[in-house]
Amino acid sequence: MLKFIVRRLVQLIPILIGLSILVFVWIRALPGGPADALLGERATPAKVAQVRHLYGLDRPLYRQYISYLDRTVHLDFGQSISTQRSVSNEIRRRFPATIELSLAAMVFAVGIGIPLGVLAAKRYLAWFDHVSMAGSLLGISVPVFFLAFLLKYIFAVKLHWLPSIGRLDATRVTSHPTGFYVLDAIVTGDGGAFVDAVRHLILPAVALGTIPLAIVARITRASVLEVLNEDYVRSARAKGMTSRTVDRRHVLRNAMLPVTTIVGLQSGLLLSGAVLTEIVFSWGGMGSFLEQAVFARDFPVLQGGILFLAIVFVVVNLLVDLTYGFLDPRIRVT
Amino acid sequence: MSLAEAEAFEISIEATDDTGGRWSEAWQRLRRNPSAVVGAGLVLVFVLVAVFASTLAPDSPNAADLSHLRPGYIPGPSAHHLLGLDQQGRDELSRILYGARYSLLIGVVSLSIGASAGVLIGAVAGAVGGWVDNVLMRLMDIMLSIPGLLFAIGVAALLGRNLQSVMIAIAVVNVPIFARLLRSSMLGQRDSDYALAARSVGVKRWRIAVQHLLPNALAPVIVQGTLALATAIIDAAGLAFLGLGSADPGTPEWGRMLAETQSFLQSSVQLALFPGLAIVLSVLGFNLFGDALREALDPKLRR
């Protein structure tokens, strides 16, 4: 197992280096280069030269890359053009909100998607299978921001069951030791804040989790169907095992392997979907940060934000891979 | 991971092995599958609307008639304007119909570029193998390490606010997906009996690749293409929602129309509902059809 972990970590290095080069080249591919981007509309030739010198853009490219790498390793993503604030600090402040939302969406997606997929496979080609697969296809076809819109309109604007924007009622005064509001409420023992935070979380999490739910259900179904046809399942049945035991020991164990990978890959969909969902629900995470950056053409923010989320995505998938290796010994040797 | 990637994954789980005559058999199965028929119908309507938008639309998408608007009031559906007016007094139905044009154009152009580039890279990697394969696939891995929509946001923001940059952004995101799909599909067939047979009678390697492996590897690419069109429409709408898209504020892009009506949610929910439904129906069409196509081409389901 240790060898497997080490090998996976080593495989990560070229990906991270490649990613850093990609993002490094990205900002330099701008028309007028990064100096123009930094100055925006205030760019004059004299100012551009000044900025180029200040940021070392007049030095050779490899030197620039090395210092960029050095700063990135220390999680220094530079400053926002529009607010002059440190991008890293802003990410640190906002990222817990995005993680909280993504985790809640994932719990929703996996908690419902896996049982749904298993049941659909067990009822292969019966009405339940048809209905749930048609439903999941519809689920994949709805843009996340439109679903967010609908949920907000129905449950917040019309029915007033749940709050429509933000992470807590604006009037509530609480402390935030972790930045995860649900966790904060538990840590500080504030029952009211807990209920409030959870109520704010429900609609955005359902909106964001629906597409992953549909995908998880479909993959689970395909994977269970695949395993049900395996010889070892037939043998287990032939031995006279009860179908419940066969399901638990043979079918589910093997069928969950591809589902694990899919759940990891979904984290990318969650992170990018979160950006759109957060905008609809005015959720103070990475979404509005990136939206403002797109609007203001604030390239350091876009660069830092996208690089950071990509690293998170890569690390989550590494963890999923390791889990997979842990669950399935065959993977470790190949 | 984007939807297209998830579907690529689903396709790869149900790996194909090939025998002849599957296209005609697939056609038979498609005709009998109700969801394929519904999907094809939706796609057909979408394409026809996009092509004939100017004939079908009762009004110009940009003709504003402010006389019916009052503060806090936007007229809803009526006999004169079937879907009502938008916040600037333009005919909503006409804007929705013209919007199909933008969706189809962005989808088809971006996918043609992205899939061709991806297929080319995947074919070269799969056919040549060795270090070329290694380098190309590591490059694809790096591209896949940025979540799809975020990658597209980065590329589109870099290239500026116009339609071309959205098309390029979505194309770029699709390249690694198709490259990986084609490569794995070719590798899966390299050890097949017919490839072995061809090799044993002395057919050259590149010829096996071009004449045998490539045509047989195309089925998953076609399925993926249909499904990726659905994702392209959703992604384009997402980019427009974020303000990336045509620089002209009058452009009737569905995603932008949705974004612009956010502040009218309380009074005029139909303005968000119509463009949203338009996106859902066209995307659903491609998804239904692509999914049915995948099932029809899957030899394991052939009974």
Interface of A with B in 22-81 (CB under 8 A): 22, 26, 29-31
More confidently predicted of A239 and A332? A239
**Least confident stretch, A202-216, A315-329, B58-72:** B58-72
The C-alpha atoms of residue A230 and residue A249 are separated, in whole angstroms, by: 13
Nearest chain A Cα to B159, which residue?
A30
Report the alpha-carbon distance of residue A74 to residue A87 in Å, rounded: 13
pTM: 0.84
The pLDDT value given to residue A31: 66
Chain A residues with beta carbon closer than 8 angstroms to that of B237: 143, 145
**A19 reaches B (C-beta below 8 A):** yes
Interface contact A18-B241, CB threshold 8 A: no
Helix (H) or strand (E) holding B6: helix B3-13
- Taking alpha carbons only, the member of A211, A200, A214, A195 closest to residue A274 is A211
Cβ contact, residue pair B284, A137, below 8 Å: yes
Using 50, 70 and 90 to split pLDDT, how confident is the model at B70?
low
pLDDT band at A111 (very low <50, low <70, confident <90, very high): very high
Residue B7: predicted pLDDT = 60
Task: Report the amino acid identity of residue B277.
Answer: L
Q: What is the rounded average pLDDT of the residues B111-124?
A: 93
Res. B173: pLDDT tops 90: yes
Residue to test with chain B: of A137, A138, A225, most B Cβ within 10 A: A137
- Residue % of chain B over a pLDDT of 90: 25
Q: Given CA atoms B61, B67, B71, B76 in this order, what sign does their dihedral have?
A: negative
Nearest chain A residue to B261 by CA: give it: A149
Structure tokens at B141: 């891995």
The mean pLDDT value for A58-78 works out to 82
Asked whether the beta carbons of A326 and A100 are under 8 A apart, the reply is no
Nearest chain B Cα distance for residue A191, angstroms: 31
pLDDT at B148 over 70: yes
User: Between A and B, how many residue pairs show a Cβ–Cβ distance under 8 A?
Assistant: 162
Looking at the partner chain, which of B13, B157, B266 has a beta carbon nearest the beta carbon of A294? Answer: B157
Read off φ and ψ for residue A316, nearest 5 degrees.
-60, -40
Residue B3 has pLDDT above 60, yes or no: no
DSSP assignments along A76-143, one per residue: ---B-TTT--BHHHHHHHHHHHHHHHHHHHHHHHHHHHHHHHHHHHHTTTSHHHHHHHHHHHHHHHS-
The residues, ordered by sequence, that sit 6+ positions from B84 with a Cβ below 8 Å of its Cβ are: B74, B75, B76, B77, B78, B92, B268, B270, B271
Task: Please give the structure tokens belonging to residue B168.
Answer: 């390029």
Among A101, A68, A58, CA closest to A304: A68
C-alpha triplet B136, B142, B147: angle, nearest 5°:
135
pLDDT for residue B239: 92
The answer to whether A286 and A95 are in contact (CB under 8 A) is yes
Residue A135 contacts residue A141 (beta carbons within 8 Å)? no
Task: Give me the helices (H) in chain A, please.
Answer: 2-28, 33-39, 45-54, 61-73, 87-122, 127-141, 144-151, 181-187, 191-228, 231-238, 243-246, 253-280, 286-296, 299-327, 329-333
Q: Kindly indicate the confidence band of residue A34, based on its pLDDT and cuts at 50, 70 and 90.
A: low
Rounded to an integer, what distance in angstroms lies between the CA atom of residue B262 and that of residue A49? 42
* C-alpha distance across the termini of chain A, in Å: 12
Task: Give the mean model confidence (pLDDT) for residues B275-292.
Answer: 92
Where is average pLDDT lowest: A100-114, A241-255, B286-300?
A: A241-255
Residue A270 to residue A227: CA distance in whole angstroms: 28
Q: How far is CA B229 from CA B105, B234, B251, in A?
A: 11, 9, 21
| Over residues A291-311, mean pLDDT | 86
Q: Give the Cα separation of A167 and A146 in Å (integer).
A: 20
Kindly state the helix (H) or strand (E) to which residue B118 belongs, with its residue range. Answer: helix B92-128
Q: B244 to chain A: which residues are within 8 Å by CB?
A: 294
- Cα distances (angstroms) measured from residue A197 to each of A96, A172, A315, B13: 13, 10, 28, 39
Q: Is it the case that residue A70 has pLDDT exceeding 90? A: no
Interface of A with B in 196-255 (CB under 8 A): 211, 215, 218-219, 222-223, 226
- Between A124-128, A171-175, B140-144, the lowest mean confidence (pLDDT) is in A171-175
